[in-house]
Amino acid sequence: MPSVMINKTESGMSFYVPKKDLEEAIVSMEHEGPGRWGGEITLADGSR
């Protein structure tokens, strides 16, 4: 599994894979709240 970065941007969250220079917006996240976040995510291009 590649190392990834999840960044909070003005328009939401973004997912970045440095080795592939791939950045995509996160459109949904399985766990999204003050105590937990993450799980399965869906990217703007439909990838999970």
> What is the DSSP annotation of the chain?
----EEEEETTEEEEEEGGGTEEEEEEEEEEESSS-EEEEEEETTS--
CA 21, CA 16: separation in Å to the nearest integer?
Answer: 7
Those residues whose C-beta lies under 8 Å from the C-beta of residue 18, and which sit 6 or more positions away, are 3, 4, 5
Percent of the chain exceeding pLDDT 70 equals 94
- In this prediction the pTM is 0.73
Those residues whose C-beta lies under 8 Å from the C-beta of residue 21, and which sit 6 or more positions away, are none
- pLDDT for 44 equals 93
Q: What is the pLDDT of residues 38-48, one digit of tens each?
A: 789 899 999 88
Q: What is the pLDDT of residues 15-34, one digit of tens each?
A: 999 998 999 999 988 887 77
